[in-house]
Amino acid sequence: MKDITCLLLTALTAAMVLGQEISPDSILAKEVVLDEVLLTAVRATSDMPVTFTNLQKEALQKRNLGQDIPVLLTYLPGVVSTSDAGAGIGYTGIRVRGSDATRVNVTINGIPYNDAESQGTFWVNMPDFASSTQNIQLQRGVGTSTNGAGAFGASLNLLTDAYSDEAFGQISTGWGSFNSMRHNLKFSTGRLGSGFEIAGRLSRITSDGYIDRASSDLDSYFLQAAYKDDNTLLKALLFGGHEITYQSWFGIDSETLETDRRFNPAGIYTDENGQLQFYNNEVDNYKQDHFQFLFNQGLGSNWKTNIGLHFTRGRGYFEQFREDDSFETYGLTPITVNGEEVATTDLVRRRWLDNDFYGATFTLNFDKDALQMVFGGAHSWYEGAHFGEVIWARYASDSFIRDRYYDDTSRKTDANIFGKVNYEIDTNWKLFGDIQWRGVSYQANGEDTGIVDDTFSFFNPKAGISYILNAHQNFYLSYAKAHREPNRNDYENGSPRPEKLDDFELGWRYYKDKTLLNANLYYMAYKDQLVLTGALNDVGAPLRSNVGNSYRLGLEIDARFEIGRQFLWQPNLALSVNRNRDFFFERDGNLQELGDTRISYSPGIVAGNVFQYSPSEQWQMALLTKYVGEQYMGNIDSENSLLEAYTYSDLNIQYTWNPQGWVDHVVLSALINNIFNATYESNGYFFTNDDDFSVPGVVTTIEGSGYYPQAGINALLGLTVKF
């Protein structure tokens, strides 16, 4: 209770310090193009009682030099990004309000993107996707009803490149630290005489990574065929990527952190001479292709309808060298060699994932006078095959070529239907209502998952009210209920209960002239929240566990101040208290009552700041700073699980040249990351001797932890020519 009181006092103090000027840097442009109408069903607007931030293409492109989308979003309120390879290329992650990526709902053009089984988002499968993104909306909290898995920390809605009336070509190239390179080519035919447009992008990104051998070899593409007239928009999209990344998800222990920050234990083994070696192909090799067909049609002056069809094809494997592995693991029988029984062998294995995800979405929108309504829904199907192969073994026993030592299949269906109403009572008051039903069905044959058949039926109501004080200032209050099913790893880990959330949001917005300001308080009460335990499974995925009752209470403030014609200041601050109530922990078979404990990976302070200086129309310079307070990587408040607070700053410089002739413009960009060379770790793991967990070279003791070091000062340089 003391923490709650202190936080409320902080909120009141901040409000008094900020005075009367508060509202969102998150208002969509009033001119809503047809492309953005595709997302009206899942996006929030400034007259809704929802906490959100918008990020437009222009802001994205300033720092877009090949790093993943979580890294590009790191300066938004309450956001923490992580990078396994330490430099933002390869496997990256995002957390919002302390919730990990499995609990952040992601849609692309209203189509679900989260993996149906793990619920995670793997941006490495779509490298350089920011280059084909028109804008992004981040809704914090439950937000509005959306398609796909429910939002338990945030919703991230991406809109891909808009229809272009003008033809163009664009070439971008860049180089940077750790042998990083990024090259892409974009084009558009512009509006042809028949109303059609064809556009596309090809990209290639490579990097050695900051961590030893944490290399990335990434290719991606984006193709769009579109048709538009006054009332119709048709889009056919084909996009995807191929990633080959040397694994770096093992992290390192505290002793290695002090002596060799860049050490990577992946692929380590001892050769016949007793020398330590590293397997040169300990890689993740995965391809993913997406097809979307989007149809938006105006029906008179008040009605619009949207239909989306989608199909995602994914396939790939994780290759590992395994030293002295047991025959029993692979269904092999012991053999006799030189008169001695052999039951173990060195081997190389591949663990495959081959999956299909497909479905449809629809919405019907009504907008007249004081009433806006949206009716929508979606239905999707997922089919996944999981199997393992041994591709080499020192002793092959009685195995055959292409034997599968496990062969599992899984299926998941997901259906939802929702209705939303936004009603203007008078010039001061607006009501918002939102109800959703969602049904989920699992089927799997893998004994290791613990899943046989499981179904869920969720009812998620939301309601809110907005008070428009004047033309520049409004307040909002909302309540939302959400449910979310466990993922595949939760079943394996013995935590198959769905989680429930009651989310309360109270906000204040101010927008006038050159000042935008938002402030909001939130209280998120959970039942059976699936929090990260700190441990990882055998392929590096974080494990979660149901924790009974828990809550998150916080204050978020973000602002935008234009100071004269040359200066722009964008600060944000997120303060929070995140607690498990009456937490119990089992150690060595004994159940211990620990009382209220901190929720893992939930820092109490997250702050960002951007100072931008534009001495002329051609030059732009920005200093960006991020502070993340200390956080625990487990839920038992162990000092061994403490991840220290850290601060880093980036310097972004951009020069635009507009020559005469056929070249439209030339942009030179420089991004100097961690300009003050801070030494920090943005992520880690924590385990106890009760966890089934092992890392090469790390001996499990009573408690242990690992860390993911981030690069010191490093740079990326880019050149873009548009014609």
Backbone φ and ψ for 636, nearest 5 degrees, come out as -115, 15
CB 650 within 8 A of CB 673: yes
Q: Give CA–CA dist 321/593, Å, rounded.
A: 41
The mean per-residue pLDDT over the stretch 337-341 comes to 91
Band of the pLDDT at 272, cuts 50, 70, 90? confident
Highest mean pLDDT among 271-275, 535-539, 623-627: 623-627
* Backbone dihedral angles phi then psi of residue 428, each to the nearest 5 degrees: -110, -30
- pLDDT level of residue 444 (50, 70, 90 thresholds): confident
pLDDT of residue 698: 52
Burial class from Cβ neighbours inside 10 Å (0-12, 13-18, 19+) for residue 413 reads: middle
Res 10 pLDDT > 80: no
Q: Where are the beta strands (DSSP E) in 369-470?
A: 371-393, 404-424, 429-444, 453-470
Q: Residues 276-307: pLDDT tens digits?
A: 999 999 999 999 999 999 999 988 889 999 99
* Whole-angstrom distance, CA of residue 156 vs CA of residue 557: 19
pLDDT digits (tens, 9 = 90+) for 466-523: 999 998 999 999 999 999 999 888 888 888 899 999 999 999 999 988 999 999 999 9
pLDDT average, residue stretch 240-248: 96
Tokens of 639: 């000092």
Lowest mean pLDDT among 300-314, 367-381, 401-415, 575-589: 575-589
Total length of the chain: 723
Q: What is the pLDDT of residue 32?
A: 43
| pLDDT of the residue at 492 | 83
Express each pLDDT in 541-584 by its tens digit.
889 999 989 999 999 999 999 998 899 999 999 999 999 999 98
Residue 202 confidence class, pLDDT cut points 50, 70, 90? very high
The rounded mean pLDDT for the chain is: 89
pLDDT score at 288: 97
Residue 18 has pLDDT above 90, yes or no: no
Q: Check pLDDT > 60 for residue 67.
A: yes
5 compared with 181, residue with greater pLDDT: 181
Domain layout of the chain by residue ranges: 2-722
Tens of pLDDT, residues 100-127: 999 899 999 999 999 999 999 999 999 9
* 14 — pLDDT class (breaks 50, 70, 90): very low
Q: Cα separations (Å) of 388 from 34, 353, 382, 511?
A: 46, 9, 20, 56
Amino acid at 494: G
**Structural contact between residues 537 and 492, judged by C-beta atoms closer than 8 angstroms:** yes
Poorest-confidence range of 337-351, 588-602, 640-654? 588-602
Give the model's pLDDT for residue 20. Answer: 31
What pLDDT does residue 354 have?
Answer: 96
pLDDT tens figures, 511-543: 988 999 999 999 999 999 999 999 888 778 889
Q: Kindly state the average pLDDT of the residues 610-622.
A: 95
pLDDT digits (tens, 9 = 90+) for 671-716: 999 999 999 999 999 988 655 555 555 545 568 899 999 999 999 9
Query: What mean pLDDT comes out for the span 240-256?
Result: 94
Q: What is the pLDDT of residue 6?
A: 45
Token duo for residue 104: 């952040």
pTM: 0.91
Q: 200 and 223 in contact (C-beta within 8 Å)?
A: yes
Question: Residue range 656-669: average pLDDT?
Answer: 92
Q: Interior CA angle at 70 toward 69 and 75, to 5°?
A: 110
- Residue 621 forms beta bridges with which residues? 613, 653
pLDDT value of residue 30:
35
Residue 35: per-residue pLDDT: 66
Q: Is the pLDDT of residue 23 over 50?
A: no
Among 421, 424, 429, 568, smallest CA distance to 25 is for 568
> What pLDDT is attached to residue 538?
76
User: What's the pLDDT score for residue 448?
Assistant: 60
Which CATH topology does 2-722 take? Maltoporin; Chain A (2.40.170)
Predicted pLDDT of residue 621 = 96
Tell me whether strands 549-563 and 530-536 are parallel, antiparallel or unpaired. Answer: unpaired
Position 34 scores a pLDDT of 61
**Mean pLDDT across the stretch 337-347?**
93
From CA 487, how far away is CA 490, in angstroms rounded? Answer: 5
Q: Which residues contact 113 (CB under 8 A, 6 or more apart)?
A: 106, 107, 121, 148, 158
pLDDT in tens, 126-151: 999 999 999 999 999 998 877 666 77
Element (H, E) at 34: helix 34-37
3-class secondary structure, 16: helix
